[in-house]
Structure 1
Amino acid sequence: MRKFLFSLLILALLALAGAYGYWAALRPNGHYLSDLRIQVAVDQGTPGQNGNLLGIQPELFPGDYQDPERLRRKLEAYLQQARSLGLINPKTIVILPEHIGSWLWIKGEKDEVYQARGRDEAFQWLSLSNPVRFAKAWLSARNGHRGRNARLRMKADEMAADYQALFGGLAKEFGVTLVAGSIVLPTPHIENGVLTPGNGSLFNISVVFGTDGAPLGVPTHQVFPDRDNRRLVQPGDPGDLDVVDTPAGRLGVLIGTDSWYPDNYRRLQAKGVQLLAIPAFVAGPGHWQTPWRGYDLHPPAALPIQPGEVTEQQAWQRLTQAGLTPVGISAGLSVFMHGRFWDVVAEGQSFISHNGQAEEAPAGFGARLINLWL
């Protein structure tokens, strides 16, 4: 009798394991409606022969990342509308926001992940439906919150491949230089023209793709991660900040809060920078209009503004202008993401820095184009 009951127990456990494995393997990809409209929020300057900086402030949600093809269609629709308005030419530099690639970790997941009420619930569904991959990534996590580290690490190879295929493909399709926001990957590098992750610490990086769809130069690493990012990502080497040649001029990239540090501008100036792209991300809700909390890490010796003196919005604009003006960079464009990822509200208004002035995209719902003719 005992052997019989033991056999039944084993069979029941095997059945449960089989059912769990079948459930975890299911990845339904249902119909998804997404708003593909975008409007011009800022169009500064006069069209000419020097090209333009074109920021795309998208409005994105978890469902946009279930299949990279959905995200491609959305961004492609934005660029098609920009082209129909005469804002795309061979010298156009398109700039996308910080972390637009980082959310690729939710690609191909179960519906429960996208329908979760908050990040913690989404993380739980992610680990339950990827038990082996998540466990391996958790064991190799090197710093910060191991669970959050693991979710960014477990799909690193796929994320890097999707990031390059998506954004390099768009650059080639529209014949533009494209600053592909940023993506968090472990020890990323470009090898034989391919973005390749390693096994080390996580870094927040940006890649610029040329008109042929290939990467230009090396990935830009974020040097001064903000208080949220630095729990997960390692700072890059300031000496590695570089510029790339584009049809519109020599372009530098500063990711997010790196644009608050004057030394970063001087490093780019020493390498002949002319134009600046700043992919950025601010999490709300309401944070854009709250008092600025100050530098999160390594404040400069001379502070142009003090914590609490201005709003977050004013701090971004004034610190960017304070960096641009002394080194003679002719124009910069800061581009933020909009949308909602569970309980994370992405906000911040994209703005142009030119001739000592900032012009910001008006607040409101929906995707925006921010254009500066050079």
Structure 2
Amino acid sequence: MDTSADTVELFALQPRASLEDYASPSTFAARHRALAAKVDALRSRDAEGRPRHPALVVWPEWVGAPLLFTGHVALVRRATSVQGALKRVALAEPWDTWNAWSAFHPPSLLECVYAARAPRVHRALWETFSGIARDFGLWVVAGSALLPASQRGQDTPDFRPYGARTYNTSYTFSPEGRCVAATRKANLVPTREDALHLSPGRPEDLALLQTPFGRLGTLIGYDGFLKPHTPQEPWFVPCAQYLDALGADVLAQPSANPWPWEAPSPFNASQRRGEQWREEGLQAQLRMLKRVRYVVSAQLVGSVLGTHFEAPSSILERTDAGEVRVLAEAPSRSEEDVVHATVPTAARGTP
């Protein structure tokens, strides 16, 4: 494959979530390798069957979060919330939970469970998506999972928590199977992620990667919004503008919207949730940016532990004239899909 080619392929995956996908690491891996095979079938190939262009695939936010329940799916199936399910896991693994508390003394039981389960969550995530990236020759933004920082870095299947502070974390893998970036969500969704005792990442730690399709940055869900949902978020940062100023060409946005798309937003009764995404998210911001050319927004659909996710995945372009075009969008906000666009590379010189 010629990685200097002037054409690239962008994919936004829209998988339908099911708790059964997390029964074991092998179940999780098989589920997502099947999705990667769908991507592979859509790639343009030369006469010898080799992919013509570099490809970026973005999985949705939270796709790795239920790995916390691996091995305990039958136990947590009847839980109606993530918090309730995590408490069941804590009771099922009291020794690991106690060891995490002894090591880190976190202020909440949930953080004990995150730290106790982190080595298994990380290994399942790393082995699945490192293998997919390597075997299919893809750049992969692997959705997100709930993970502390690791003393050993992210490019190894081995994981040792640095502490119990836990972040909504997205890994990026190169076609060689290396984990080349870990992005931690800076803006936590009020009433959702704060209730899970997650910690915010730092905007200054958002990384840009040099790739064949340009400088790639990842914004997890709410980090792609222009303004906070509530007045009680004084530390909110418009991260898209931040990465644009650093020279991002392509933004990956793993996302998972947990509210009905056509119902009033829980934060503004006069605005539907879908309207809030369009009017305050990256689709509205893109025309204001100076450098970013493409946005690949992948959404999770389906239901897990009483939470229903729905929204259409999309691939957006900011044209040379500054207008925003929807290059591809899932026709359904609730069905599984693969969204695909073949585009000119956004790679340019330094700004």
After TM superposition, the score normalised by the length of structure 1 is: 0.75
Question: Is 2:336 the counterpart of 1:367?
Answer: yes
Report the CA distance shift for 1:108/1:277 in structure 2 as closer, same or farther (over 3 A): same
Report the CA distance shift for 1:192/1:209 in structure 2 as closer, same or farther (over 3 A): closer
Q: Which moved more, 1:83-92 or 1:166-175?
A: 83-92
Instruction: Give me the CA root mean square deviation.
Output: 2.5
Report the CA distance shift for 1:65/1:151 in structure 2 as closer, same or farther (over 3 A): same
Q: Distance in 2 between matches of 1:325 and 1:130?
A: 50
Residue identity matched to 2:179:
P
Contact 1:68 1:107 in 2 (8 A): yes
Q: Which moved more, 1:78-87 or 1:154-163?
A: 78-87
Secondary structure of 2:163 counterpart: coil
Percentage of identical aligned residues: 24
Question: Is 2:200 the counterpart of 1:235?
Answer: yes
Residue identity matched to 1:77:
A
User: Which residue does the alignment assign to 1:210?
Assistant: 174
Q: Distance in 1 between matches of 2:295 and 2:334?
A: 24
| Alpha-carbon offset, residue 185 of structure 1 | 1.1
User: Which residue does the alignment assign to 1:6?
Assistant: none
After TM superposition, the score normalised by the length of structure 2 is: 0.80
Segments ≥4 residues shifted beyond 6 Å:
none
Q: Distance in 1 between matches of 2:206 and 2:152?
A: 15
| Residue deviations 1:324-351 (CA, integer Å, cap 9, x gap) | 2222311102111112212122222212
Q: Distance in 2 between matches of 1:281 and 1:64?
A: 17
Secondary structure of 2:261 counterpart: helix
Q: Distance in 1 between matches of 2:334 and 2:225?
A: 27
Query: How do residues 1-374 of structure 1 correspond to structure 2 at under 5 angstroms?
Result: 49-86=6-43, 89=51, 90-109=53-72, 111-113=74-76, 115-119=77-81, 122-137=85-100, 140=104, 142-143=106-107, 146-188=108-150, 191=153, 193-194=155-156, 196=159, 197-216=161-180, 218-227=181-190, 228-231=192-195, 232-261=197-226, 263-284=238-259, 287-294=260-267, 307-319=268-280, 320-328=282-290, 329-355=292-318, 356-358=324-326, 360-363=329-332, 366-374=335-343
| Alpha-carbon offset, residue 149 of structure 1 | 2.8
Q: Distance in 1 between matches of 2:309 and 2:59?
A: 14
Q: Distance in 1 between matches of 2:148 and 2:7?
A: 37
User: Which residue does the alignment assign to 1:20?
Assistant: none
Contact 1:54 1:87 in 2 (8 A): no
Which structure 2 residue ranges, 5 or more long, are not aligned? 46-50, 228-237, 319-323, 344-351
Report the CA distance shift for 1:180/1:76 in structure 2 as closer, same or farther (over 3 A): same
Which structure 1 residue ranges, 5 or more long, are not aligned? 1-47, 295-306
Q: Distance in 1 between matches of 2:55 and 2:136?
A: 10
User: Which residue does the alignment assign to 1:37?
Assistant: none
- The structure whose Rg is larger is 1
User: Which residue does the alignment assign to 1:19?
Assistant: none
